């Protein structure tokens, strides 16, 4: 098997592959949104319907908390608890969780009135009755019916809801520039790309001073980019450390050392590693979903 040398060519090749995959995704996406498809082992077409506008106010940034998500998490936990206590034939414990399930299940129609007909509140009194009688079999069957109402909604809406409301958006985030100003993410990404290419061009042309200057600028730009992480991740340092932490800082220091020593191939190899461990890793986490959201939103 022939392998590309792990240098600037590798970084260029990986970037080209990422771009081609993204273009292919955007080409296929419109057809996926309008044409029903069938999941493996199922004869039911899966539609991707636009969720009701009223759902937006239960997600960030319209809401300070992810109210909808936490409601869904509670529903899943409540149904699991009821199922487990049904297997143990424990009516008292089932009653506690059924009361919680009743409250959260009915919240769906309160929060999103357009989905009132999608739920079946009548199932909750039946569930309570079967639990009180100790009829674990009927409890299980009723839980399955409730779960089916959840699954039907998820099949229709979950993909688009995830893309629209659970993907990042950076319109309100600014990144500091090296001269003390501020810029949006689009301009920041353009400047980062220019610095990366200036390093590679200078290395290829044997212009050591230019490569050192661009490398120093890239290190400063990445530090400023990392400072913006806490806008979303708040006091959590792990996301920044994972991508722009100790290893990345060491790579950038080693890059300057290799450039200064005239080790062109080692410098190119490090640029390839930075492209994969920083650029590609961050894009795979943030940009793919962001671009999908951008394509879906009017």
Q: What are the residue boundaries of the structural domains of the chain, listed by start?
A: 8-15+170-296, 60-165
Tokens describing residue 13: 């090749």
Cα–Cα dist 33/46, whole Å = 10
Average pLDDT over residues 8-30: 43
Comparing 210 with 20, the larger pLDDT belongs to 210
Chain center to CA of 254 = 32
pLDDT for 283 beyond 80: yes
pLDDT band at 85 (very low <50, low <70, confident <90, very high): very high
Average pLDDT over residues 35-63: 69
- pLDDT of 61 reads 83
Q: How many CA atoms lie within 13 A of 244 on its CB side?
A: 19
Number of CB atoms found within 10 A of residue 49's CB: 13
Tokens describing residue 122: 């009548």
Q: Are 102 and 118 in contact (CB under 8 A)?
A: no
- pLDDT of 298 reads 59
Number of CB atoms found within 10 A of residue 122's CB: 8
Tokens describing residue 59: 């997600």
Cα–Cα dist 19/287, whole Å = 11
Comparing 271 with 284, the larger pLDDT belongs to 271
pTM of the model: 0.63
Q: Are strands 175-176 and 45-46 parallel, antiparallel or unpaired?
A: unpaired
| CA quadruple 63, 67, 69, 74: dihedral, nearest 10 | 170
pLDDT for 17 beyond 60: no
pLDDT for 11 beyond 50: no
Average pLDDT over residues 6-35: 42
Name the phi and psi angles at 164, rounded to 5. -85, -45
Residue 174 to residues 55, 191, 217, 238, 244, Cα–Cα distance (Å): 27, 14, 18, 21, 18
Q: Is the peptide bond before 171 cis (omega within 30 degrees of 0)?
A: no
Average pLDDT over residues 110-117: 96
Cα–Cα dist 159/295, whole Å = 14
- pLDDT of 53 reads 92
């Amino acid at each position: 098997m022939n392998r590309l040398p792990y240098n600037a060519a590798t970084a260029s090749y990986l970037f080209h592959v990422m771009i081609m995959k993204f273009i292919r995704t955007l080409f296929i996406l419109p057809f996926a949104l309008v044409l029903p498809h069938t999941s493996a082992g199922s004869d039911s077409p899966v539609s991707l319907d636009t969720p009701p506008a009223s759902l937006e106010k239960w997600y960030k940034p319209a809401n300070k908390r992810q109210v909808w998500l936490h409601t869904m998490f509670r529903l899943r936990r409540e149904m699991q608890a009821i199922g487990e206590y049904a297997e143990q034939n424990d009516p008292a414990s089932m009653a506690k969780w059924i009361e919680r399930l009743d409250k959260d299940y009915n919240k769906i129609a309160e929060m999103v009135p357009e989905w009132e007909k999608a739920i079946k509140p009548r199932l909750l009194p039946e569930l309570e009755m079967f639990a009180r009688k100790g009829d674990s079999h009927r409890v299980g069957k009723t839980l399955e019916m409730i779960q089916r109402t959840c699954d039907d909604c998820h099949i229709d809406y979950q993909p688009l809801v995830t893309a629209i409301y659970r993907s990042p958006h950076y319109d309100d985030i600014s990144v500091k520039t090296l001269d003390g100003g501020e810029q949006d993410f689009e301009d920041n990404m353009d400047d980062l790309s220019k610095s990366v290419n200036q390093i590679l061009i200078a290395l290829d042309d044997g212009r050591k001073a230019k490569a050192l200057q661009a490398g120093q600028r890239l290190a400063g730009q990445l530090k400023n980019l990392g400072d913006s992480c806490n806008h979303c991740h708040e006091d959590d340092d792990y996301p920044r450390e994972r991508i722009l932490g100790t290893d990345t800082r060491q790579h950038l220091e080693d890059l300057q050392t290799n450039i200064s020593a005239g080790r062109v191939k080692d410098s190119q190899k490090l640029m390839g590693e930075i492209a994969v461990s920083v650029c590609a890793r961050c894009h795979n986490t943030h940009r793919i979903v962001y671009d999908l959201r951008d394509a879906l939103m009017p």
